[in-house]
Amino acid sequence: MVVSGVPRIYLLEPARTCSLANKVDIELSVKGQLWKPARRDFFPIFSGSHPLLYNQSKVTVNPSWSESAAATAPVPQQKTPTSPAQSRRQKVLVTGGGGYLGFSLGSTLAKSGASVILLDLRRPQWEVPPGTQFIQADVRDEGALFRAFEGVDCVFHVASYGMSGTEKLQKEQIESINVGGTKLVINVCVRRRVQRLVYTSTVNVAFGGKRIEEGDEDSVPYFPLDKHMDHYSRTKAIADQLTLLANGTPLPGGGSLRTCVLRPPGIYGPEEQRHLPRVASHIRRRLFMFRFGDRKTRMNWVHVHNLVQAHLLAAEALTASKGYVASGQAYYINDGESVNVFEWMAPLFEKLGYSQPWIQVPTSWVYLTATVMEYLHLALRPVCNIPPLLTRSEVHSVAVTHTFRIAKARAQLGYAPDKFSFADAVEHYVRSTARQPRGPTARTLLRLLLGLLLLLGLISLGLHFLQPLQAAVQRL
């Protein structure tokens, strides 16, 4: 359904699958609002060198990607032969271009010959490569987006907020960026006649703590929005739907916006800034002496090089030369293999000189502790910042199997993930960080003792005040 040339936002029923092939049926089946946004104005009708620059032999990008401009123009014009040098360089924009994935993607695009704009509030910590422009701007600033999107052929919307740690608890910030920012990106794409939009989503649109084994795009539904335990997953699911429903939106002067979404799990690779450093910090502080969950629990990861490859292929699959095969489609993207997170992290413990977790604790205890720590963080935030060791959603990610097939991406995009080792990323991390003192010290042992006492206290508090929650968790 289209209103004034742009799509309306819908919340899909829990029973609906992620496939939007029968869009009309889905739109007519909506039975009401499942989630109350933190702010109503986010949900109206639309108005040095980087380490990734290696091993790119399998990723080929045509600098003059899209034929869609000629294919969708109101008055087709006969083409005249031109040499590659005469072809116009494609102009692409990457939101979140100051982050790890966004910068990696932009660097690869620049190397391929495209004219690249990196847009982010935060400047990249790496040297911006030749042929790349950095614009410091907020995805919630419509005016800044409108200026930046001028002449852009394809937008990669990578920017997001609230993936892990204390960020996951900042609801208004998460919502304003993930929902409000995506709404504005789509709006400006339409106003600026951008023909292609690739959105970086997450497997969490489907995973909410219930077991998923070898799920795919057609068989696994969106997790009910009102059942998500963290606002990041909820808002990413909304943005995922926004992007897919925007597919086919008419553009001023002719043509239409082609969109698709990619759903990766956790990302790793050289100089990754989020997962590996955080876990390494906990290991050095002796906070990861315990493990939880079944040893058979499995999950997926994706190397940054493979995820960049998927973005390039998805953008190309939105062109006329590829039959718009990715138009309106969602794709799970990972390395093509599943792992147990504690076994997968073994090289990190080894390289840091610490033994692997040897204390097995019940998942229900860890979940209760995470719940109490979340509330404690929120209660004390005006006074001091106490980051939770783990959040509830992170506990579920570790303790509950959730794996996804990539057959659709292989078949439609030609996605062929390379083989990478987490141990290589660990080796790079260890070399690039200052050497930390190892072995027990009096201060370390005291901190450990205090931490264990705090943990026991939190568990006792949780057992006292959260009896209904404990019963629900034990049914996992």
Domain assignment of residue 174, given as a range = 2-65+86-265+304-334
In a domain, 172, yes or no: yes
Count of structural domains, the chain: 1
CA distance 420 to 427: 13
What pLDDT score does 396 carry?
85
In a domain, 23, yes or no: yes
In a domain, 282, yes or no: no
Q: pTM value?
A: 0.76
CA distance 167 to 59: 33
Quick one: average pLDDT of 339-368?
85
In a domain, 395, yes or no: no
Assign 95 to helix, strand or coil: strand
Residue type, 261: V
- Which stretches does DSSP call E strand in 80-219? 91-95, 115-120, 132-136, 154-157, 196-200, 212-215
User: Cβ contacts of residue 96 below 8 Å, gap of 6+?
Assistant: 102, 119, 120, 139, 157, 158, 159, 160, 200
What pLDDT score does 294 carry?
85
Instruction: Give the number of other Cβ atoms within 10 Å of residue 165's Cβ.
Output: 15
- The residue that leads in pLDDT, 84 or 296, is 296
Give the mean pLDDT of the chain.
77
- 232 in active site: yes
CATH no. for residue 55?
3.40.50.720
- The residue that leads in pLDDT, 80 or 431, is 431
- The residue that leads in pLDDT, 87 or 64, is 87
In a domain, 379, yes or no: no
In a domain, 187, yes or no: yes
In a domain, 102, yes or no: yes
pLDDT digits (tens, 9 = 90+) for 160-196: 998 776 676 788 999 999 999 999 999 999 999 999 9
CA distance 188 to 345: 41
- pLDDT range class, residue 47, cuts 50, 70, 90: very low
| Range with the poorest average pLDDT among 80-94, 119-133, 428-442 | 428-442
Quick one: average pLDDT of 372-397?
78
| Range with the poorest average pLDDT among 22-31, 114-123, 272-281 | 22-31
Catalytic residue of the set 100, 161, 232, 332 = 232
In a domain, 417, yes or no: no
